[in-house]
Structure formats: C-alpha cells, structure tokens
Amino acid sequence: MKTRDEALKLLQEYTKTDSLLRHAFAVEASCRAYARKFGEDEEKWGITGLLHDFDYEMYPTPDEHTIVGARILAEQGYPEDVIYAIRAHADYNNLERNTLLDKVLYASDELSGFVMAVAMVRPTKNVADVEVKSVKKKLKDKAFARGVNRDDVYRGAEELGIPLDEHIAFVIDALTQVADRLGLDGTESA
C-alpha cells in the first residue's frame, strides 16, 4: 500500500482547485473515522477517500471519471479493493458496493461535501457549529447545494445500515477533526 504522502502527491498532480482538494480531505476524514469505528485499516480507508475523485478535474465525464483514475492507480500499484471502491462510488459505473469500504466511501462522499456546504453558509463558518437538524433541513431545500445528489446521501446511509441522523452526526464530527484543513474552523482565513 502506498503512503498518504504518495497519495497526496498524486492527488495534487491531478487536482488543482482548492474546493476539490478540500472535498478530498473531507472524504478522507470521514473514511478514516469510519475505519476507526469499524476496526479497519485507517490508512487504507483514508487514502481511498483522499483519492476517490483525484481524476475528476481532468476527466469529469462519466466515460472517463474513475475509469482513467483506476488505470492510473493500477499502474501505480494501488490495491484492487481500493480501486474497486473508487470505481463503485460513481453510480454510473453500475458496480455493486459489496465491502464495507465500498459502502463507507459511497456514504461519505456526497454527505461530506454537503456538510461542508452547510458549514460555509453558517455565520461562524465553523463545521463544529453544524447541527444534524440543520443538515436535514438543508437536504430538503433543493436550491441549496444543487450539485449534491440527495438520493446518494439517503442511499449511502441505508447501504451502510446506519440511521441518517447518526450518519450525519458522525460525518460532522469527522470533519470537525480536520476543520482547519477544510477552512471551516471559524478562523478569519476561512
């Protein structure tokens, strides 16, 4: 398995926009937190979250995103289960999510981005101030964070077998742990 530093270097080679980098860090944090919860390999799960969209900026279309990335990851020697989880997080690939890693990545992806969006509109811009009820209310507002697929959020919690409220609270807590890296810690620079 590659190291986080190697994965970060690969991410930064293909991803230049700050918003996509912060999204990668958020999903990484959620995956790491779930790995701890389930007693799994935190480094592997974190790297999977970190790299899940690394090819998206250069290859954003459904016939490229995750497909090109999977080839690059295979060439670099990433494990098959990591590559499969990354491919399976995109519904258009029509891959079943069989393992806990597959399900955690899928469940963490859209919700991590959505929780970040909710934090950004708070006066404090601090993810620690985000409440589950606020996230649920914003999920019902179709005009808010239009790019987030609400069905993916609900399906992710369902596939993971965790009640939505619990999943949202868990992701908020995971992102709070890396709030400074996400620019959502309430400081002036956020």
What is the Cα–Cα distance from 120 to 114, expressed in whole angstroms?
Answer: 10
pLDDT digits (tens, 9 = 90+) for 104-150: 999 999 999 999 999 999 999 999 999 999 999 999 999 999 999 99
pLDDT, averaged across the chain: 96
Helix (H, G, I), strand (E, B) or coil at 48: helix
Would the pLDDT of 190 be above 70? no
User: How would residue 1 be classed by pLDDT, with cut points 50, 70 and 90?
Assistant: confident
Could you say which DSSP state residue 185 is in?
B
Tokens of 56: 């998206």
Number of H helices, E strands in the chain: 10, 0
CB atoms within 10 A of CB 118: 24
- What are the domain boundaries of the chain? 4-182
Mean pLDDT value of segment 155-171:
98
Q: Tell me which amino acid residue 182 is.
A: L
Q: Using CA atoms in the order 4, 6, 9, 14, what is the torsion angle rounded to 10 degrees? A: -100
Q: What is the pLDDT of residue 170?
A: 98
Angle, helices 100-120/132-140, rounded to nearest 10 degrees: 90
The CATH topology of domain 4-182 is Hypothetical protein af1432 (1.10.3210)
pLDDT digits (tens, 9 = 90+) for 10-61: 999 999 999 999 999 999 999 999 999 999 999 999 999 999 999 999 999 9
Report the percent of the chain where pLDDT is more than 70.
98
